[in-house]
Structure formats: C-alpha cells, structure tokens
Copies of this chain bind each other. A is one copy, B any other.
Amino acid sequence: MSDALRTFKASIFHALSHPTRIAIVEELREGELSAGAIVHRLKLEQANASQHFAVLRAKNIVTARKDGNQVFYAVRDPLLIEVLDVMRRYFHAHVQEALAMLKEIDESEGERPSIE
C-alpha cells in the first residue's frame, strides 16, 4: 500500500478522532439534521460546532445541503456508520479495559463515567 493511500486513510480516522465529531456523526445516523439542531442537541458552542463541521466537510464525511437559512448535514456514506458499528462491538468486547480507560480519563477530569 502506498504511503499516500495510508495518509488518506489516516486522514479519515483523524477526522473521526474527536469526541464532538463522533457525536455529530452519530447524531446523523438516522438521517440529516440542520447545523442548529445538532448544536442544540449536543449543547455545543456555535462557532466550535461549525469548525467541526468544516473538518467533516473537508474529508467528505458529511454532505451539506443548504435550504434557505439553514444548512442540513448528512453522513455521506453508510459505510462510515458501519465503521462506527464495528467500533461499538469493539467497545463491548472490551468493556473492562474501556472502563479502566474511561476511569483514567475521568480521574483527570473529575467526572463519573457512564456506559451508553
């Protein structure tokens, strides 16, 4: 496999390597939503959300459909949802250590982990 191809793959993973962007893609699992709806559901800062949308757009992970005042986002390819599904199975297969990892993250942030 060429290094350029690996760079492409890595760039897709990179686009998904932020909790907020994962959350956005998961929100879009059932279909398109307006930017505002996502901001509201995930309680994000508008500017910050828009930055994350830009990352997802740049990698063609989502499509943006403009309708009047609003922009509706959708996951472009269901394969990516499939990737997230496999990740979910991966998570369930390793709950124990996932919990440990969450706890570590937790302890440095002062919040309690909760599973799904």
Contacts and interface: CB of A to CB of B under 8 A. Distances in A.
Interface of A: 1-14, 16-23, 26, 59-60, 77, 79-80, 82-84, 86-87, 89-91, 93-94, 97-98, 101-102, 105-106, 111, 113-116
Contact of A8 (B20, B83, B102): B102
B13 A102 contact: no
Among A10, A77, A97, A111, the most chain B Cβ lie within 10 Å of the Cβ of A10
A108 B114 CA distance: 44
A116 to B, nearest CB: 6
Q: Which DSSP category, helix, strand, loop or mixed, fits chain A's interface?
A: helix
A10 B16 contact: yes
B13 A26 contact: no
A102 to B, nearest CB: 5
A67 to B, nearest CB: 24
17 contacts: A1-B116, A2-B113, A4-B102, A5-B98, A6-B20, A8-B91, A8-B101, A10-B22, A13-B16, A14-B14, A14-B17, A77-B90, A77-B94, A79-B90, A79-B93, A80-B90, A83-B86
